[in-house]
Every structure is written in structure tokens, then in C-alpha cells.
């Protein structure tokens, strides 16, 4: 069995550390694993919790920062300076691995040296709630050509990975470098795309690979301004990949158009859905349209723009009553269902 280095960055998550580490060391039978916990100057005593865990298990190392360095620098410290196993995983202290996840991912990467990283389906759970029932028996795996997988990300304008479900070939991680400090909120998707530009992508079928904790203050679900920031960060991430990996991509101008068109459509869709849901008072409709124009000068030719114009004519007060009859709203629900079904089956 190959060796796996697991980096666990921690800031004020000391109360989650024991469960997180247990999922890595006690629930991966047969895996050769080492763990590094990096406490980023947490004021809640996380460093002491980490040291207590390390005192009871020689497979655990601990680093405690005297001053806070931020999550990107902490990630890169573990991934680039410390990790020396065949494979490396980055696991937030508030998340957990599904039993056997590292064994399944390592087996895929052992069998397919052309694959640069492996991932599987994560299970989301609400903070404070119970863990969902996880599937632990794989039905096989698939390896997607990296360039094909990468183009799909540009075509869809979004990622299909949260983060804790990924195991990366350490040699490739060092080759592509660490997380970009200019992308504090979209560094994950940019990293997966950079890796895919250099190697193929493995997906574990049938089994769940990680538990991803959803906190109540999650910006993408509660803050409408945060949703616009998310789109902006995605645009920077796609541009960053093209800038760093353009020499590996045969048609980067086409990829750029794909991503910018999709992001413009997302922005306009969020804008017109604000009319459907009676939320024009809280959703930054004008800013979303301005972002669409930034992405795509000819955004007014998009069907989403026409849908927005129709709703403006009808008016914010009337539109919520007509929303069930709007074809674009029905189409939105259909697209979302199809995407989720594809993601659940194939991880893409």
C-alpha cells in the first residue's frame, strides 16, 4: 500500500479535531498514513488539543503558528513543505473522511499512474446534526482525461468538488505548486483545474469519500452579495488557470469564452430569479447584470437577459405570482435536476 500524508489545517476548530483525526487514523484500515495538524494561532486552545492527540499517536505531528498566517499559507506549508507520502490529502479540521476513503483513493491512483488526483462523492451535513449514512463499498472507478475534465469545468463555469474528498499525487502537487493567495475563496476549484491540466482525473464510484460540514453562516447560501463575490472569484480562478497553464491548453481562447458565457448566464439567471422570488430588494440585480456585461460584452443576446427584461416589464410585485407559469423557471429546475443526477452518478 502506498503512503498517504494528510494535512489538517486548524483555526478555532479544536473541538472538532479528535473526530477529524480519528476518521483519518482509525477508520482507514490498511492505509499507511501520517498526519500533520497545523494550528494557525488559534485563540481557542486548538494547539493544546493537537499536542494532546500527538502525544498519544506517533503518526501525528503538530505545528503551532505563533502568529496567524491565513489559510492559504497554512495549506501550502503542509502540502509543499511537509508532505512526503506518495499521495497527499488536505482535510479541514471540521470535516471527516468516510471509512476506507484513503484506501479506495490510493488503490485507484496505484492502478492508474496517469491519474493526478482521485475524488469521490462527499456527504454534506449540517453543523450540529448527525452524520449521514455513508456508502463504503466502491462499485469501481473511472479515469477521465484531464483535458476533457478541465474543459467541462470551463463549460459549466463551476466545480464539482468540495475539497475533503480529494487525494492528490504528491509529486504532481509539488509540480503545479500550492494554492494561490490571490484566490482566498476560489483556490480549490483553481487547484483542481491546474492539476487536471497536467494529468488525468480519477473518480471513485459507488462509495462516499468524505463528510463536509455546512455551517449556518455559509456565505454562498445566506448572503446574496456573497453569491456575486463567488461568481467574481470563479472568473478570476478560470483566468488564473489559463494564465498559468495556457501552454498546455490547445484552445485557451475558446475555453475562456465558454467560462465567461456560463458565468454571465449564471449572473443573469440569479438576477431574474430575484423577480420570481420577490427578492429584488436584497439581491444585487444591477450588479449581477454589470458582472454579466464584464464577462461577455454581447450578454444582451443571451436568453437569460431576455428573461430578465420580461420580468422588469412585468414588475417586481407581480412576478412572484406568475413565477409558476414562467418557462424559464421550469427550465431552471430541470437543469438543476439533470446536473445533480449527473454529479451523483459520475462526479462531474
- Residue 335: what pLDDT? 57
pLDDT tens-digit profile of 178-213? Answer: 999 999 989 999 999 999 999 999 999 999 999 999
Calculate mean pLDDT across residues 269-279. 91
Task: Decide: 34 and 5 in contact? Cβ < 8 Å.
Answer: yes
In 3D space, the residue among 132, 85, 77, 79 whose CA is nearest the CA of residue 105 turns out to be 85
What confidence score (pLDDT) does residue 222 get?
A: 43
Per-residue pLDDT tens digits for 137-168: 999 999 999 999 999 999 999 999 999 999 99
Per-residue pLDDT band for 92 (boundaries 50, 70, 90) equals very high
Residue 227 has pLDDT above 70, yes or no: yes
Look at residue 221 in the predicted model and tell me its pLDDT: 41
- Flag whether pLDDT at 253 surpasses 90: yes
203-238 b/e (C-beta count within 10 Å ≥ 16 → b): bbbebbbbbbbeeeeeeeeeebeebbebbbbbbbbb
DSSP category for residue 326: -
Say yes or no to pLDDT of 256 above 90.
yes
Using an 8 Å Cβ cutoff, are 185 and 233 in contact? yes
pLDDT per position as a tens digit, 283-341: 999 999 999 999 999 999 999 999 999 999 898 888 776 765 555 555 555 555 555 56
Query: 348: pLDDT confidence band, cut at 50, 70 and 90?
Result: confident
- Is the model's pLDDT at 171 over the cut of 80? yes
Residue 223 has pLDDT above 70, yes or no: no
**pLDDT above 90 for 215:** no
Would you place residue 128 in the very low, low, confident or very high pLDDT band (cuts 50, 70, 90)? confident
For residues 225-242, average pLDDT: 92
Identify any residues that bridge with 301 across adjacent strands, giving them in sequence order. Answer: none
Side-chain-facing half-sphere of 210: CA atoms under 13 Å: 27
In the numeric block, which cell numbers belong to residue 293?
456585461
For residue 244, pLDDT beyond 60: yes
Distance, in Å, from the CA atom of 21 to the CA atom of 123, rounded to the nearest integer, reads 18
Please, are residues 77 and 157 in contact by the beta-carbon 8 Å criterion? no
Q: How far is CA 340 from CA 15, 105, 331, 344, in A?
A: 33, 22, 14, 6
| DSSP string for 71-95 | HHHHHHIIIIII--SSEEEE--TT-
pLDDT at 217: 47
- Residue whose C-alpha cell is 454581447: 298
CB 259 within 8 A of CB 237: no
Count of beta carbons in the 10 Å neighbourhood of residue 140: 10
pLDDT tens by residue, 32-79? 999 999 999 999 999 999 999 999 999 999 999 999 999 999 999 999
Mean pLDDT calculated for residue range 262-277: 94
Mean pLDDT over residues 85-99, rounded?
98
- Beta strand spans in 65-199 (E): 87-90, 96-97, 115-126, 140-144, 167-169
Cell matching residue 127 = 453543523
Percent of the chain with pLDDT strictly greater than 90: 82
Task: Judge contact between 155 and 80, C-beta under 8 A.
Answer: no
Amino acid at each position: 500500500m502506498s503512503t498517504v500524508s494528510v494535512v489538517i489545517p486548524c483555526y478555532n476548530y479544536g473541538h472538532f479535531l479528535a473526530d477529524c483525526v480519528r476518521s483519518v487514523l482509525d477508520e482507514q484500515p490498511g492505509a499507511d498514513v501520517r498526519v500533520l495538524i497545523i494550528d494557525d494561532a488559534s485563540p481557542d486552545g486548538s494547539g493544546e488539543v493537537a499536542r494532546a492527540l500527538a502525544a498519544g499517536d506517533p503518526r501525528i505531528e503538530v505545528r503551532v503558528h505563533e502568529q496567524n498566517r491565513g489559510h492559504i499559507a497554512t495549506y501550502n506549508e503542509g502540502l509543499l513543505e511537509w508532505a512526503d507520502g506518495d499521495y497527499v490529502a488536505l482535510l479541514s479540521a471540521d470535516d471527516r473522511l468516510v471509512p476506507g476513503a484513503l484506501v479506495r483513493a490510493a488503490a485507484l491512483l496505484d492502478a492508474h499512474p496517469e491519474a493526478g488526483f482521485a475524488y469521490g462523492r462527499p456527504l454534506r451535513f449540517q453543523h450540529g446534526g448527525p452524520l449521514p449514512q455513508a456508502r463504503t463499498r466502491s462499485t469501481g472507478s473511472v479515469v477521465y482525461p484531464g483535458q476533457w475534465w478541465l474543459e467541462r469545468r470551463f463549460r459549466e463555469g463551476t466545480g464539482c468538488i468540495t475539497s475533503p474528498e480529494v487525494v492528490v499525487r504528491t509529486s504532481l502537487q509539488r509540480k503545479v505548486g500550492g494554492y494561490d493567495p490571490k484566490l482566498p475563496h476560489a483556490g480549490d476549484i483553481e487547484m483542481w483545474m491546474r492539476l487536471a491540466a497536467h494529468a488525468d482525473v480519477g473518480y471513485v464510484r459507488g462509495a462516499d469519500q468524505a463528510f463536509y460540514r455546512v455551517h449556518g453562516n455559509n456565505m454562498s447560501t445566506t448572503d446574496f452579495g456573497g453569491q456575486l463575490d463567488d461568481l467574481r472569484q470563479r472568473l478570476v480562478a478560470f483566468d488564473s488557470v489559463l494564465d498559468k497553464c495556457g501552454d498546455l491548453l490547445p484552445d485557451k481562447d475558446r475555453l475562456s469564452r465558454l467560462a465567461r458565457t456560463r458565468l454571465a448566464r449564471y449572473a443573469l439567471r440569479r438576477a431574474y430569479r430575484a423577480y420570481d422570488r420577490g427578492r429584488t430588494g436584497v439581491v444585487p440585480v444591477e450588479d449581477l447584470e454589470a458582472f454579466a456585461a464584464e464577462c461577455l460584452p454581447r450578454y444582451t443576446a443571451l436568453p437569460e437577459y431576455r428573461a430578465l427584461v420580461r420580468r422588469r416589464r412585468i414588475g417586481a410585485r407581480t412576478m412572484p405570482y406568475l413565477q409558476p407559469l414562467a418557462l424559464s423557471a421550469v427550465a431552471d429546475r430541470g437543469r438543476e435536476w439533470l446536473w445533480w443526477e449527473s454529479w451523483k452518478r459520475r462526479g462531474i
